[in-house]
Amino acid sequence: MTKIPHILLIYTGGTIGMVKDYKTGALHTFNFDKLLKHIPEINHLNCKIQSISLKEPIDSSNMNPEKWVLIAEIIEDNYNAFDGFVILHGSDTMSYTSSAISFMFENLSKPIIFTGSQLPIGDLRTDAKENLITSIEIASAQDNGKPIITEVCLYFEYKLYRANRTTKINAEQFEAFTSPNFPPLGESGVYLKFSKQLIQKPLKNSYLKVRKKLDNNIVILKIFPGITKAVVKSILEIKGLKGVVMETFGSGNAPTEKWFVELLKEAIDKNIYIINVTQCAGGNVQMGQYETSIELKNLGIISGKDITTESALAKLMYLLGEKIPKNKFKSVFETQIRGEITED
């Protein structure tokens, strides 16, 4: 461990580093070195900062599993040389990417902090400076020479969250994220305060494993009143489909119509895993609580419990990539592996 924390800033794109194209009026990404020139303050932080940028920074709407692997590889290649990592990322899909990175890094013992902003760094009223500076401070925070944060987090507008518990809730307010089912791990005010008892710790005598096999033969199926047989059938019959994140009503309820239940059964018989997550902003799936979810339970549908859709999607890609055997898949999915669900 170095005395002064050594932090790697990884720039992937997003509003934080965008400028306005005055011809079209649209925001687009620009050179990262220019971005750093807008924040001379970072030279006064008590850490050594190096930065690296994706070859082509992107709006996070263009993020995908291949680019998640690229980000993971940058962290992996630099893991021993740095004490912490700050990833600058567009806010639109930050919860997806950061959830995926959390599953990809097993036995993490250093901080990986995702952040971004709602306004570009050059804007007078920007939220980018606070988000970036505080994220670097969080990644540098140590107790007795050891990092305080040993998990993948998302920092935005004074709150530090466990990344795989977050969801983007607002497209224009500075408070763009929330963590509906898990309290923040830290807050920034006059002081930086951490809820240390909540922070995930690596297992003793464990070493870092980076899991890079992700299988994206999956779909999100959002149930709505009036959903037709043709729609459900065409989704569940997609060639090569291996998993479905099914967003149901309330505590995991869905229509009880015969055709619907039969289509789900046919999919399960074809070894497609179906995960039940709630489309509510917060709360838990409890299959069997209502008549409208008993059938789902009997079919062997997997309970996402209080997982977010973003995290369920990332966990499904990860577990499919790891080729978890069929007889174990349900219990592995229903068990927390990176603090992403609350177990009963």
Determine, following the binding rule CB under 6 A, whether residue 99 of this chain makes contact with ligand ASP: no
Nearest in space to 310 (alpha carbons), one of 152, 191, 157: 152
Q: Residue 255 and residue 207: Cα distance in Å, rounded?
A: 46
Interface region with ligand ASP, contact rule CB under 6 A, candidates 56-64, 193-201, 229-237, 273-281: 56-64
CB of 158 to ligand ASP, least distance (A): 17
Determine, following the binding rule CB under 6 A, whether residue 60 of this chain makes contact with ligand ASP: yes
DSSP H or E stretch at residue 197: none
8 A C-beta contact, residue 32 and residue 11: yes
8 A C-beta contact, residue 17 and residue 11: yes
Q: Considering beta carbons, is residue 59 or 306 the nearer one to ligand ASP?
A: 59
Closest CB to ligand ASP: residue number = 90
Q: Residue 317 and residue 68: Cα distance in Å, rounded?
A: 12
Annotation says 12 is catalytic: no
Determine, following the binding rule CB under 6 A, whether residue 98 of this chain makes contact with ligand ASP: no
- 33 token code pair: 């070195």
Among the listed residues 2, 12, 15, 93, the single catalytic one is: 15
Q: Which sign, positive or negative, has the C-alpha torsion 320, 326, 328, 330?
A: positive
CB of 176 to ligand ASP, least distance (A): 7
239 class by beta-carbon count within 10 Å (0-12 exposed, 13-18 middle, 19+ buried): exposed
Residue position matching structure tokens 């997609």: 238
Q: Residue 94 and residue 88: Cα distance in Å, rounded?
A: 9
Q: Considering beta carbons, is residue 117 or 251 the nearer one to ligand ASP?
A: 117
Q: Considering beta carbons, is residue 95 or 188 the nearer one to ligand ASP?
A: 95
Interface region with ligand ASP, contact rule CB under 6 A, candidates 47-55, 84-92, 183-191, 294-302: 84-92
Amino acid letter at 57?
Answer: P
Q: Residue 34 and residue 122: Cα distance in Å, rounded?
A: 10
Interface region with ligand ASP, contact rule CB under 6 A, candidates 13-21, 34-42, 181-189, 308-316: 13-21
In this structure, the strands spanning 27-29 and 18-20 are: antiparallel
CB of 337 to ligand ASP, least distance (A): 27
DSSP H or E stretch at residue 4: none
Determine, following the binding rule CB under 6 A, whether residue 14 of this chain makes contact with ligand ASP: yes
CB of 32 to ligand ASP, least distance (A): 14
Name residues contacting ligand ASP, limited to 262-301 (CB under 6 A): none
Determine, following the binding rule CB under 6 A, whether residue 102 of this chain makes contact with ligand ASP: no
Q: Considering beta carbons, is residue 116 or 339 the nearer one to ligand ASP?
A: 116
Instruction: Write each residue from 228 to 267 as x if it is in contact with ligand ASP (CB under 6 A), else as -, in one continuous string.
Output: ----------------------------------------
CA 51 vs CA 26, 48, 137: distances in Å: 26, 10, 15
Determine which residue in the list 6, 9, 38, 59 makes contact with ligand ASP, applying CB under 6 A: 59
Determine, following the binding rule CB under 6 A, whether residue 90 of this chain makes contact with ligand ASP: yes
8 A C-beta contact, residue 185 and residue 194: yes
Determine, following the binding rule CB under 6 A, whether residue 127 of this chain makes contact with ligand ASP: no
CB of 171 to ligand ASP, least distance (A): 8
CA 8 vs CA 85, 161, 324: distances in Å: 5, 20, 33
Task: Return the active site residues.
Answer: 15
Residues at the contact surface with ligand ASP, assessed by CB under 6 A: 13-15, 59-61, 90-92, 116, 118
